[in-house]
Amino acid sequence: MNESNNDILPPQLSKLRAVRRGAISVFVMLCLFFIVNTAQLSSDIKSYTGNIHFNSDSQNNNNNEMTLNPDGLGIGTATPAANLHVSGNSIISDKLSIGSSSSATSTLHIAGTMGYSVQTVSDNVTLSGNSYVLVNTSAGKITVALPSASSVPGRLYTIKKITASNSLIVYGSIDSGGGYVFSSGNMNRLKVISDGIQWWVIGKSSAELTTLWTPASITTALWLDANDSSTIHDTGGLVDKWDDKSGNGDNVISSGINRPTTSSTTINGLNTIQFISTTIGAGDSFDVPSLSLTSEGCAIAVYEPDVAGSGYGFGYTLWGRASGGGGQHVDIWSGASYPALFRDDRPNIGNIGVPDSGVSMLAWNGDPSTAYDGRLNGSATYSSNTSYTADADITNTISKIGVTHPNYYFNGKLAEMIVLPAYQTDAQIQKIEGYLAHKWGIEANLPAGHTYKSSPP
């Protein structure tokens, strides 16, 4: 019988040979691993199909974060159209040099020319993404509204009037004012920047720019402005809260599934609050807190009804009390009007001509000791010098907007509403009417003798 070498070696040598064989095997495996991986690391990544895709998704669902092909490198896009094409937001935490192979000396260094997206407008508009705006007023007066400063902190706008004819009005909270008027006969410019709270002028033409008057300079009990997006709080377009700009904090609230909407309708290119009530008792509305009123007051609003015949099929109701004696509110009926704001009764004062379509400006102005007036588009449509009994619960004379009692409601757009804690003289109320009419594009409806027929205050 033949015996293996192990059989004739001493036990110590046999163990030593086994250890040596194991070590050699491990060494060979390490060498092979090193050779293979070194070859892979030293080789270029090549594609013979034209695209190299980078996808960090473990599911391999082709959601490529980055694509490299002969057209360039695409980040966020699979089809780059330039050497570097980024689709989406980018963050550069250090300096960026453009147009030069030298290192940047500032956060942004541009060696060469710059191009801007320019917007030319010839109609009323609320500005959005273009920083340079050219306004053509040859066909008539133009209204340009700035977006809310809180929604675009750091944004710059340069607005240039490019025709001498007619006027240009720029609305926005600018330098604590309401905007500027570019008068007819000049071609001025204005440059503003947002600090996240309001707009500030950082450049303008030296002449013929007039600061706009706004109700911020007078005492108001309630001021709701649909074009001030910073005051509107919504969920998917359904308004939850509309902030009061009077400084009293009397914000109006809406809840439930029937809520007015925002960002869906406009008047004169400016945002409005849309009421969509279609049946009695099921209207969307706002609840109004108790207002700072005593025995007198004035309420004025710009609105546009969409559906006539709301509220028992005769008319519509803008505002009023939620309950009590048939509802203390203003009814606009086909053949009659029943005003009740600030007073304890609801007299039928006859048809005062309030239309059931189109944009209107309606005001009720009362002092129980001297007068009670109704005004439509700047004209006095009802006036009484007879004393009346003031509403015993005048702080709640307006506790609802859009629906009352609940058999009356409003289907349409509400642009702006102002309540003042005192009776307004003709000079005082005409200034408010001039502000509203020019802002919302209904100055043509003002009577010929109105102080602010041709230009805003």
Tokens of 401: 């907007």
Q: Which of 455, 437, 314 is nearest to 379 (CA)?
A: 437
Average pLDDT of the chain, as a whole number: 81
| CATH class of the domain defined by 217-445 | mainly beta
Of 101 and 136, the structure prediction assigns the larger pLDDT to 136
Q: What is the pLDDT of residue 75?
A: 87
Q: 60: pLDDT confidence band, cut at 50, 70 and 90?
A: low
pLDDT digits (tens, 9 = 90+) for 62-101: 667 788 888 888 888 888 888 888 888 888 888 888 888 8
- Flag whether pLDDT at 21 surpasses 90: no
* Rounded CA separation 281/380 (Å): 32
Tokens of 231: 């005051």
Of 213 and 17, the structure prediction assigns the larger pLDDT to 213
Predicted structure pTM score: 0.75
Q: What is the pLDDT of residue 23?
A: 44
Planar angle of CA 77, 82, 86, nearest 5 degrees: 40
Q: What is the pLDDT of residue 350?
A: 66
Q: What is the pLDDT of residue 436?
A: 97
- Flag whether pLDDT at 281 surpasses 60: no
Look up tokens 């360039």; give the residue. Answer: 72
- Flag whether pLDDT at 332 surpasses 60: no
Query: 3-class SS at 8?
Result: helix
Percent of the chain with pLDDT over 70: 78
Domain positions in the chain: 118-212, 217-445
Looking at residue 130, its amino acid is N
Looking at residue 93, its amino acid is S
- Flag whether pLDDT at 338 surpasses 50: yes
Q: Which of 426, 434, 429, 424 is nearest to 457 (CA)?
A: 434
Q: What is the pLDDT of residue 354?
A: 76
Of 65 and 156, the structure prediction assigns the larger pLDDT to 156
Q: HSE-up of 23 (CA within 13 Å, CB side)?
A: 6
pLDDT digits (tens, 9 = 90+) for 115-131: 888 999 999 888 988 88
Cβ(311)–Cβ(408) below 8 Å: yes
Q: What is the pLDDT of residue 220?
A: 97
Of 103 and 359, the structure prediction assigns the larger pLDDT to 359
Q: 445: pLDDT confidence band, cut at 50, 70 and 90?
A: very high
pLDDT digits (tens, 9 = 90+) for 425-435: 999 999 999 99
